[in-house]
Amino acid sequence: MNRPRRIDPADRDPRPLASALDELAGSLGMAPSSQLRAVFAHWEEVAGPVVSAHATPIGLRRGILHLEVTEPGWATQLRHLEPQLVSRLCDQLGAEAVSSVRVTVAGSRPRSHRGSGRG
């Protein structure tokens, strides 16, 4: 029989929402909110105005920066720029904050096969 988990009295005290969200994000392998905010705040500076007009950061998880681009050609371009982007982001966020970049083209996410007759 499983016993209910005892709650530490210190866990009952109110704490800042950002702290609770960072703890949750960490348990899911996601970056702290401060790092994610920094990526968004410095993206144009890191990527440059032309690239940032076509590529948007959409997440940072386990050191992988997820970007969404407007066209397939930009996905190719960003794969070539990955070492420079990672280096610049680590300069802004701290060493090892970003280890690689994963790029998807807007609208190209896999679709569900529900209702398509496939089983």
Which among 78, 79, 92 has a CA at the least distance from the CA of 39? 92
Q: Look at residue 46 and tell me if it is in a domain.
A: yes
Give the residue, 65 or 24, on which the prediction is more confident: 65
Distance (Å, rounded) from C-alpha 32 to C-alpha 16? 14
Residues spanned by the domain of 96: 31-105
Tell me if 71 is assigned to some domain: yes
74-97: pLDDT as tens digits: 999 999 999 999 999 888 887 778
Question: Is 8 part of any domain?
Answer: no
Residue 103 in this model has a pLDDT that exceeds 60? yes
Q: What are the pLDDT digits (tens) for 17-54?
A: 667 666 766 676 666 677 778 888 889 999 999 999 99
Q: The domain that contains 54 carries what CATH number? A: 3.30.300
Task: Let me know if residue 13 belongs to a domain.
Answer: no
Count Cβ atoms within 10 A of the Cβ of residue 62 and give its class: 0-12 exposed, 13-18 middle, 19 or more buried. Answer: exposed
Number of separate domains in the chain: 1
| Residues linked to residue 102 through DSSP beta bridges, in sequence order | 66
Residue 44 covered by a domain: yes
